[in-house]
Amino acid sequence: MRFRLLNKIYAHIFGYFWAQCSLCGKYFGGHEWKQDNQLMITKDMGECVCNDCRDKARKINKKKLQIDDNPYYSKNL
């Protein structure tokens, strides 16, 4: 808990965001975010996820992109 508080203070002092992970709900700072920590909502938009959920987000993104890129997939099914 103390470590998270230090991260929160660091984020606020240096102008990084402090947000809740969209998958697990844990708060994290922009200084901890890596480029591939993103859950794709559409091909043009995404949400940040914490480092713990990075692999889960990659799996979801891979599955979502396979569905979206398939011209024979109907979302009405």
For 57, counting Cβ atoms within 10 Å of its Cβ (0-12 exposed, 13-18 middle, 19+ buried), the class is buried
Q: Is the separation of the CB atoms in 22 and 39 below 8 Å?
A: yes
Q: What is the pLDDT of residue 5?
A: 93
Residue 11 forms part of a structural domain: yes
| In a domain? residue 45 | yes
Task: Please give the pLDDT value at position 77.
Answer: 43
In a domain, 76, yes or no: no
The residue segments making up the domain with residue 57 are 2-69
Tens-digit pLDDT string for the chain (77 aa):
678 899 999 999 999 999 999 899 999 999 988 877 888 877 778 888 998 998 898 888 888 777 666 555 555 44
Q: Which of 58, 57, 39 is nearest to 48 (CA)?
A: 39
pLDDT value at position 18? 94
Domains of the chain: total: 1
